[in-house]
Amino acid sequence: MAAEADPHGHMGYAVDRVRAFVDGVVAIALTLLILPLMESVGEVAGAGEDAVTWLREHDGQLLSFVLSFVLIAMFWMIHHRLFVTVERVTSTLIWLLIAWMLTIVWLPVATAIAGRMDDDDGVARALYIGSLLLAALASLLVRLFLRAHPALHTASRGQLVDGVIVDLALALLFGVALVLTLVVPGIGYSAMFVMLLSTPVQWLLRRVIGVRA
């Protein structure tokens, strides 16, 4: 009777609709990034100013837009590479994905705050970099769950471990950037340059975990 009441059992549910839903949410988040820029164009045009004025006055918004667009696209590519191997999803996995999508949907808000506030606004910097840290941690949790449930996917152990290293490296570097921007306020968003250390940090994590690249 229990099996009849739950025909899917512990094997979960088909992944196609979940995959399409996640892709749609990410696409919407990417689109939302442009809205503050569209609004600022209207404000400048309404004041009778030209395009050069808009570019000069909103360079911070433009930078945060491009950076966030690239980062969200990066998060999606990491997710996409993982979910190519996923064949089934469970309720727990869906909720973990919802948590990850929450961090992605929030990023346009954090981006708008970062782009409109002064560079010396520590709260704005903490919100933005902290949001990226949460996105990386949520991605890591999804991957760890799948690693613990091999019946849901076809990924090899090596693929999953390599993905865990990538997510963990991102989380560590976003964490370092967050600490730097809080402890050294003058550094501003330049703390994000620690992300350039992603490759050596991944190499170090592979050495620590004992996995070859």
pLDDT at 49 (0 to 100): 66
Q: What is d(CA 110, CA 12) in angstroms, rounded to the nearest whole number?
A: 34
Per the domain annotation, does 119 fall within a domain? yes
Nearest to 97 by CA among 58, 129, 138: 138
Beta pairing, strands 13-14 & 88-89: antiparallel
Our count of domains for the chain comes to 1
Condensed to tens digits (0 to 9), the pLDDT of residues 183-210 reads 987 888 888 899 999 999 999 998 887 6
* Residue 86, beta-bridge partner list: 153
In a domain, 4, yes or no: no
Name the average pLDDT for the chain.
Answer: 85
| Predicted confidence (pLDDT) at residue 8 exceeds the cutoff of 90 | no
pTM, rounded to two decimals: 0.85
| Nearest residue to 139 via CA among 81, 105, 97, 90 | 97
User: Domain of 90?
Assistant: 12-209
Is there a domain that residue 201 lies in? yes
State how far the Cα of 28 lies from the Cα of 5, in Å rounded to an integer: 36
Q: Is residue 51 part of a domain?
A: yes
pLDDT for 2 equals 39
Q: Would you say residue 69 lies in a domain?
A: yes
For the chain, the 3-state helix, strand and coil shares in percent, each to the nearest 5, are: 85, 5, 15
| CA-based nearest residue to 87, from 156, 154, 17 | 154
**How far is it, in rounded angstroms, from Cα 203 to Cα 213?**
7
Query: 6 pLDDT band (50/70/90 cuts)?
Result: very low
> Which of 1-10, 103-112, 148-157 has the least mean pLDDT?
1-10
Say yes or no to pLDDT of 27 above 90: yes
Looking at per-residue confidence, does 163 or 10 come out higher? 163
Q: Is residue 5 in a domain?
A: no
Give per-residue pLDDT as tens, 45-89.
666 666 777 777 777 788 888 999 999 999 999 999 999 999 999
On whether residue 2 sits in a domain, the answer given is no
Mean pLDDT along residues 140-161 = 92
* Nearest-angstrom CA–CA distance, 33 and 107: 8
**Residue 1: inside a domain, yes or no?**
no
